[in-house]
Amino acid sequence: MVAVVGDEPFLKREVLHSVRERLSDGNDLACSTYAGRECDWRDVADALTSVSLFGGASAAIVEDADPFVTRFRPQLEDYAAKERHAGTLVLDVKTWPSNTRLAKAQAGKGLVVKCQVPERGAEVGQFQRAAKKWLAQRAEGVHGSPVEAGALDALFDLLPLSLGVMDQEVSKLALLAGEGAAIDADLVHRHVGGWRTRKTWDMIDAIADGDASDALEQLDRLLRAGEQPIGLMAQVASSLRRFSAAACLIAQAEANGRRTSLRDALERAGVMKFKLADAERQLKQIGRARAAQLDQWLLDADLALKGHNSTPGRGRTELECLIVRLSKAGDERRAG
C-alpha cells in the first residue's frame, strides 16, 4: 500500500505519474485508476487480485481517496495488515494521520510519500533547499537550461512557494534564454513578476475581505505600474470562482439533506490548505447571496472587458464595480 499524502498539486501529480509508470512497467492495463468519491471497495479489491493478461503484478490507484478511506477503513485496515499482497494499492489522500490503525498497519510494509509545502518553522528552510536542488535538476533535464544559484535565490524571493508556479516560470525563462543557455539572476529579475505579483494577491485578498478602500488603492498602483485590466481580472476571477464553487457545493449538500463545513467545501473547491482559514473568513464576509451571483458577475465583467469596456479606462471601471459589489459597505447597503 502506497499513500501519496498532501495538497501540493504539482508535486503530487509528478509523484503519481512516477508511481504509475513504475507499477505498469510499460503495461497500462496492469494499473487501474478509480475516483475515490465514487468507487467501491469491491471493484478496487477485484483489480488488485486480478492477473494481467500481459504479465506483471496488478495495481490500483484511487484518486482523491479521502472519502474512500473514510467509507472503507475496516477493509483497508485488513488489507494493510496482510504480510503479502497480490497487487499494489495507491491512495491519493490529503491527510494520513500516523496515530490511526490504518497508518500503523501500513507502516513498515508500504510507502508514504509526502507532497505538501510546510507552512512554518525549520521545515520551510529544509523544503526550500531541497526544492532548489530539484528545480535546478528539472531545469536542465526537462527544459534544457542550467540555472545559476543566484537565479534560484531570485525565483524563491519573487514567487510563492509553489513548485508548479516555479516550474512554469523556469520553462518560460528557458525559452527566453535560448537553447542550452543558462538562466541567470538578471533574466529572472527582468521577466518574473516581483512586487506586482505580491500586490495582485494583496488586492485579491482585500477584495474578498470586503476592504474596498485597500483594494482600490492596490488596483490603482498596479494599473499605474503598467498592468492591464483584463490580465488582472483573469487573476481575480480565478480566485473568486473558488468561493462560488464552495457555495455551490454547500447548496448541493443541503439539497441532498446533508451538511458540509465551509472549510471542507473550500478545500474541495481548490483552496490551498494554508489559505483555508483566511478563505473561510472571506466566504463568510462575501455571504451566500453574493457568492451565488459571483459566476455571473465575473462572466459579465469578462465579456465587458473583451467588448464595450475593452479600453484601459473602462476596464478599470469594471474592476472597480466588482470591488464595490463585494465590499462590506456594499453588503450593508443591500441589507438596509
- Type of residue at 78: D
- Range list of H helices, the chain: 9-24, 41-49, 66-71, 73-81, 101-106, 122-141, 149-158, 163-177, 185-191, 195-209, 212-224, 229-255, 262-268, 276-305, 312-325, 328-335
pLDDT tens digits for range 231-260 = 888 889 988 999 999 999 999 989 888 888
- Give CA torsion, residues 6, 7, 13, 14, to 10 deg: -60
- Could you tell me the fold of the domain covering 122-193? Helicase, Ruva Protein; domain 3 (1.10.8)
CATH node for 2-114: 3.40.50.300
> Do the first three CATH levels of 2-114 and 196-327 match, i.e. the same topology?
no
Q: What angle do CA 203, 209, 211 make, to 5 degrees?
A: 70
- Could you tell me the fold of the domain covering 196-327? Zinc Finger, Delta Prime; domain 3 (1.20.272)
Say whether pTM exceeds 0.95. no
* pLDDT at position 335 over 50: no
Q: Specify the higher pLDDT residue, 316 or 335.
A: 316
Q: Please report, for the chain, the start and end positions of each structural domain, with discontinuous segments joined by +.
A: 2-114, 122-193, 196-327
Confidence category of residue 188, pLDDT binned at 50, 70, 90: confident
Confidence category of residue 320, pLDDT binned at 50, 70, 90: very high
Confidence category of residue 336, pLDDT binned at 50, 70, 90: very low
- Cross-strand partners of 147: 183
Block residue for cell numbers 492596490: 218
| Mean confidence (pLDDT) of the chain | 85
- Type of residue at 205: D
DSSP 8-class letter at 8: -
CB contact at 8 A, 325 and 208: no
* Least trusted range by pLDDT, from 21-25, 65-69, 73-77, 266-270: 21-25
**What is the percent of the chain with per-residue pLDDT over 70, rounded to a whole number?**
90
Mean pLDDT along residues 46-61 = 74
